[in-house]
Structure 1
Amino acid sequence: MADQQGQHGAGPRESLGYEQARDELLQVVRQLETGGTTLEESLALWERGEELAKVCQRWLDGARARLDAAMAAEEPVEE
């Protein structure tokens, strides 16, 4: 996944693997559900959650493409 970087360039977090991004996304969701944050903090959490969801989706899309390619390579060629 070469393009794991978000537009805001948040540093080393951008090279997260799927599991890391998913775990951080779960933490963000818990914080939002718990409440007790200011509007500004909630908006920042929401934005980070959106970025993390995109990272996860890119990983899943890449995995799906690899599976599809592997399955297509195994299919017999019709003549």
Structure 2
Amino acid sequence: MLRISVEEAAMNLKSLLELVARGEEVILLDQDKVVARLVPPLQKEQRLVTMKKFRESLAIKGESLSATVINARIEERR
């Protein structure tokens, strides 16, 4: 993992992007504080796992939308 100042990164952006494209991570520093990370994009398989975990973490509360619509229509008829 390469750590580089923002100023240096600005001057060498193309070469840094080439490193990231090869799978390396680059940490950008501003006055010795981490301000950003350049990381390679997730592969399709990794994105799908992440999305699946996210969906599974959602807890749906209350009735379903279809039940809400049906109940609203019944109430309108009364």
Scaled by the length of structure 1, what TM-score is found?
A: 0.26
Structure with the higher helix share, 1 or 2: 1
Structure with the higher strand share, 1 or 2: 2
Scaled by the length of structure 2, what TM-score is found?
A: 0.26
Greater RCO, 1 or 2 (C-alpha within 8 Å, sep 6+): 1
